[in-house]
Amino acid sequence: MVASSLQCKLPPMVDKPIKILHLIDSGGLYGAEVMLLNLVEQQINQGNQPLILSAGATGIDEKPLETEAIRRQLPLKKWRMKPGLNLSEALRVSRFAQNEGVHVLHSHGYKFNILMGLWPKIVRRIPLVATLHGYVNAQKYSKMWLYETLDRAVIKRMDAVAIVNPLMKEISTVKALPFSKVWEIPNGITMSVGESEEAQGRMVEIEKFLATHSPVIGIVGRLSLEKGHELLIKATVDLVTRYPDLGVLIIGDGYERQNITALVNRLGLDEHVCFAGYCTPIETYMRELDIVAMPSLTEGLPITLLEAMSFKKPVVASSVGGIPILLDNGRCGKIFRPGDSKEIYRAVVEVIENGTETERMVEAAYERVLNDYSATGMASKYQALYKSVVQI
């Protein structure tokens, strides 16, 4: 009883702010980047002191992530360096963090996983954690395969690892980690309120495309093989036969753009497919879509689907990574087998022609994001992760 009464008289504990240096070399403004921006916003609200260190090759003026961070008024440090396995530059980053009094290094992506993970902790001096969004399973002996192999090797050196869906526990490198080092933290988003601001420089041809096509299917993401753009294009051949005014809006850019454009031309779909490139803020375009498609061959927990669900847009997505869990095994969206364009066609037709079921699905999806995938909840879980490795 004495201990209990004494406890009541003590002032409430106030957490000291944690200084976090987020490390990223971003190729665009996609899921991992949006997740990071949302996380930093919430960490500031929590009273912490996050800083985004955005790396890029020498000569690059401003990257899309940096533009968006500036727009959101988030703390940002642009860092330019020679590409490749630049361990000396990683050491400079480590020294910068030490001078800034950083408590934890948080890596987002294979580049800084490797660069910081290759240095022993006695050199870094600061705990290193990483968020794994998944691997693309690159072709053997390719440059990306080499990066993935190195990434898998250095993960064991992390003080803690966050995975974005429970299935990632089965990845061999994750399974090899001590149980206490692995944290399951789903991506989270900030639910939009009211109308979004207009995208600056919104192209006239996109406006015209949206006005002259219905329904419009949107696919948002990096133009790379694992995102499955070609599968959606092949499904569009049959879809435009059934719905002559249907359009596909491709939002994003990447190394596969030339191949996807060539496929569109070869299949005679030029009038039905529009390449929008990078579009910010994405909310402006997401609101215009009738369906959001994700035909990916590999995924972690895609932010794009969370955003679509928060905007009450019906989604059709492949059953890879954390997608079936996110969509509650079909209750919150149509799921199809990966790599099958006929399945994409079927899913889109069901969404368009079964309005009552689609309406229920959209409402269930919205409630799921609201309750289980908020940026606030995500940030609180990362706070607990940091506290497990930081002594302040």
pLDDT digits (tens, 9 = 90+) for 47-60: 999 999 999 999 99
Residue partners of 362: CB distance under 8 A and separation at least 6:
309, 312, 313, 314
DSSP classification of residue 314? -
Task: Report residue 240 as tokens.
Answer: 């435009």
In angstroms, the CA 225 to CA 232 distance is 12
Place of tokens 């997505």: 317
Instruction: Report CA torsion sign: 39, 45, 48, 49.
Output: positive
**pLDDT score for 133:** 85
In angstroms, the CA 40 to CA 74 distance is 7
98 φ/ψ sector (left φ>0, alpha ψ -120 to 50, else beta): alpha
End-to-end CA separation in angstroms for the chain = 31
Helix axes 257-266, 229-242, angle to 10 degrees: 30
Q: What is the fold of 15-190+375-389?
A: Rossmann fold (3.40.50)
Bond into 281 cis (ω within 30): yes
DSSP classification of residue 98? H
Task: Report residue 177 as tokens.
Answer: 């980690």
**pLDDT score for 196:** 45
Instruction: Report CA torsion sign: 94, 100, 104, 107.
Output: negative
Query: Strand, coil or helix: what is 90?
Result: helix
**pLDDT score for 144:** 72
- The highest-level CATH class for domain 204-372 is alpha beta
Helix axes 355-372, 341-353, angle to 10 degrees: 100
Which amino acid does the sequence have at 93?
Answer: V
Helix axes 303-310, 355-372, angle to 10 degrees: 110
Query: Strand, coil or helix: what is 276?
Result: strand
16, 51, 255 from 105: Cα distances, Å: 17, 10, 30
Stated length of the chain = 392
In angstroms, the CA 302 to CA 122 distance is 35
What is this structure's pTM? 0.82
Place of tokens 């015209």: 208
Instruction: State the DSSP string of 267-319.
Output: TT-TTTEEEEES-SSHHHHHTT-SEEEE--SS-SS-HHHHHHHHTT--EEEES
**pLDDT score for 94:** 96
Residue among 23, 99, 124, 127 at smallest CA distance from 391: 127
| Residues 361 and 331 sit within 8 Å (Cβ to Cβ) | yes
Helix axes 375-389, 31-45, angle to 10 degrees: 80
User: Which regions of the chain are under pLDDT 50?
Assistant: 1-14, 193-201
Domain with CATH 3.40.50.2000 in the chain: 15-190+375-389, 204-372
| Residues 359 and 332 sit within 8 Å (Cβ to Cβ) | no
Query: Strand, coil or helix: what is 305?
Result: helix
| Residues 310 and 191 sit within 8 Å (Cβ to Cβ) | yes
Burial of 334 (C-beta count, 10 Å sphere; 0-12/13-18/19+) = buried
